[in-house]
Amino acid sequence: MTDNINDQPEGRVPARVIGTPPSNGPILGDEIVHEAKGVPGVIPADPAVAKRAERIVALLFTITFLAGAAFIASYVIFQVGTIDRTAASNYALGSSLSIALLSLAAGIVVWVRQIMPKYNLVQERHPMASEADTKEYVEETFLQGANESGFVKHKMLRRTLLLAAAPLGLAPLVLLKDMGPLPGTALRHTVWGTPTKDGKPRRLVVEGTGQPIRAADFNSPGGILSVIPEGYEEDLNALAKATLILLKFRPDEIKSGTNLNWTHDGIVAYSKICTHVGCPAALYEQTTHHILCPCHQSTFDAADGAKVIFGPAARPLPQLPIAIDSEGYLVAKSDFNVPVGPSFWERGDAEAEAREQKA
């Protein structure tokens, strides 16, 4: 090795294998001439293969950039709100991000396997505390690896890699949009309090079919339906707060906790959103009139105002005031008098306002 190094022409930097003592060569960013052919154990990249691989890597990094830009564009273009729009958004975001990450990974693999030199490296175990000489060696080794990678020499690779990384670096910033805006008073109200376009009370319709419910047809004690507001069948944001469970009781089964003025002929409507963490409380035991939330086993007495009788829920399921319209269909008389779903810190103010209005 000594004879080979001394025989190097003047002005040429001798190449070395990782693990040999460092030489006083240029640092990252300087021009470097790497003659790996004279170094034992090092197999340099074939220039023709490396040139062809450089074009492939540049193409893959360009694809990564385009896919990353498509991911950001998809987030802006494909807005959610309905099942079909949410599915389209998921497909666009998932496919664009998958292409970006796969092409980036493929480009890096081709870069390492076709452009960088190949050699065997044996790493010895040393004590955890690094000495000053070791730190200096690591720094020099890093600079050598950077030079061997061609990051400085191959400008096309460097520029397309930076181009590919740009949209991926911005993607997390775009996703921060989902953290806002603040809900304001939106958590206190549902669409049940909004009339239809012709000013009539909003009808209760069966979830899944959209069929309005005639009170005379819902006449079997023990019956239960999952109900949503008419006109919002595809609005997932609205349904997250407004979905109901509709129950039919015999007159003598209803207890004092239930507000009779908000029922019709033994028909009671409760929020389906569990007051613990918002799971759908839709399991019903007909003989005991218990509503069970399957997530954490909160249990509510449907015959007694949906009061909590077991589990972590802290308050009853809110009851919706209902009546019938001129055609005999069930409608909402007003919105819930308290916020639905899990408790939140502003809920106390909202319930205080409801008590004041009721008084």
Q: What is the CATH number of the domain that holds 256?
A: 2.102.10.10
Identify the CA nearest to 263 among candidates 184, 207, 321: 321
Has residue 2 been placed in a domain? no
Has residue 270 been placed in a domain? yes
Check whether residue 111 and residue 197 sit in a common domain: no
pTM for this structure? 0.54
Range of the domain at 83: 18-119
Asked whether 53 and 46 are in contact (CB, 8 A), the reply is no
Q: How many domains, in total, are found in the chain?
A: 2
C-alpha to C-alpha distance for 25 and 350, rounded to whole angstroms? 72
Six token digits for residue 28: 């990252």
Has residue 176 been placed in a domain? no
Has residue 289 been placed in a domain? yes
Has residue 177 been placed in a domain? no
Local structure of residue 18 (DSSP, 8 states): B
Q: Report which residue type is found at 93.
A: L
C-alpha to C-alpha distance for 162 and 150, rounded to whole angstroms? 14
Check whether residue 190 and residue 103 sit in a common domain: no
- Residue carrying the six token digits 């008084």: 359
Per-residue pLDDT tens, the chain, 359 aa: give them: 444 444 545 555 455 555 454 555 554 444 444 444 455 666 777 888 889 999 999 999 999 999 999 999 999 898 876 667 888 888 999 999 999 999 999 999 999 999 888 877 777 776 677 788 888 999 988 888 888 888 878 888 888 988 998 888 888 877 777 776 776 777 788 999 888 888 889 999 999 899 999 999 998 889 999 999 999 988 888 898 999 999 999 989 999 999 999 999 999 999 999 999 899 998 999 899 999 999 999 999 999 999 999 999 988 999 999 999 999 999 999 999 988 988 765 454 455 455 544 54
Has residue 159 been placed in a domain? no
Has residue 131 been placed in a domain? no
C-alpha to C-alpha distance for 248 and 215, rounded to whole angstroms? 10
Check whether residue 220 and residue 313 sit in a common domain: yes
C-alpha to C-alpha distance for 267 and 39, rounded to whole angstroms? 89
C-alpha to C-alpha distance for 60 and 105, rounded to whole angstroms? 9
| Boundary residue ending a domain (101, 119, 137) | 119
| Boundary residue ending a domain (119, 141, 174) | 119
Has residue 157 been placed in a domain? no
Check whether residue 222 and residue 113 sit in a common domain: no
Q: Tell me: cis bond preceding 181? Omega within 30 of 0 counts.
A: yes
